[in-house]
Amino acid sequence: MQILIYDDKEMHVFEVLSFIPDEIKFEEFDISSLEDYSKKVVMVPHIKYTASIHIGEQLAELDPTTMKRIARYNLEKENEELLEEIKQRKVYLGELNEEFRNLSDRLERIKEVGADIWENGTEYCSGNECDYE
């Protein structure tokens, strides 16, 4: 088995000599009957699990095929993230376009009503309501 450790600057591959998991310790917790369940909260503790990995002194060599696989995997993951972001942006853009259409329609109605009031203002008010002198 090998372990691969990398960041944006360098990458190391180590041969793993042994893998020894630590003992899992369970803590006691309260178990309530079904009748009491509605009255109590059952608390289940977090289980801690650690492992001790011993690695050899010599770095393992990566063959070109493995390096290509790693590069392809990283590229596929990055592409998946970008495609998901594109989908989210398209949804957001659609929402903005819909809002723009609604506001444009409202503005057109306001212009039509304003022009109609300007030309036929006496029809909108009766008697002395329109006398602004």
How far, in Å, CA of 61 to CA of 2, rounded? 10
Helix (H, G, I), strand (E, B) or coil at 59: strand
Quick one: 6 and 55 in the same domain?
yes
Quick one: 43 and 3 in the same domain?
yes
Q: What is the pLDDT of residues 41-76, one digit of tens each?
A: 555 555 555 555 666 655 566 778 888 888 898 899
Quick one: 103 and 53 in the same domain?
no
Quick one: 96 and 42 in the same domain?
no
Q: Model-level pTM greater than 0.75?
A: no
Quick one: 56 and 67 in the same domain?
no
Instruction: Quickly count: other Cβ atoms within 10 Å of residue 63's Cβ.
Output: 9
Domain-ending residue, one of 46, 61, 76: 61
Highest mean predicted confidence (pLDDT) among 51-60, 94-103, 119-128: 94-103
What is the domain extent for residue 72? 63-119
Q: Determine, yes or no, domain membership for 105.
A: yes
Confidence band, pLDDT 50/70/90 cuts, at residue 132: low
Quick one: 38 and 93 in the same domain?
no
Q: Residue 19 has which token pair?
A: 């893998």
Quick one: 55 and 86 in the same domain?
no
Q: Are 19 and 55 in contact (CB under 8 A)?
A: no
Torsion, Cα 111 115 120 124, to 10 degrees, reads 30
Quick one: 30 and 53 in the same domain?
yes
Residue 40: pLDDT over 60: no
For range 1-9, the mean pLDDT? 72
Domain-ending residue, one of 41, 61, 81: 61
Quick one: 39 and 70 in the same domain?
no
Q: Determine, yes or no, domain membership for 128.
A: no
Q: What is the domain count for the chain?
A: 2
Q: What is the pLDDT of residues 86-98, one digit of tens each?
A: 999 999 999 999 9
Q: How far is CA 127 from CA 18, 34, 105, in A?
A: 99, 78, 33
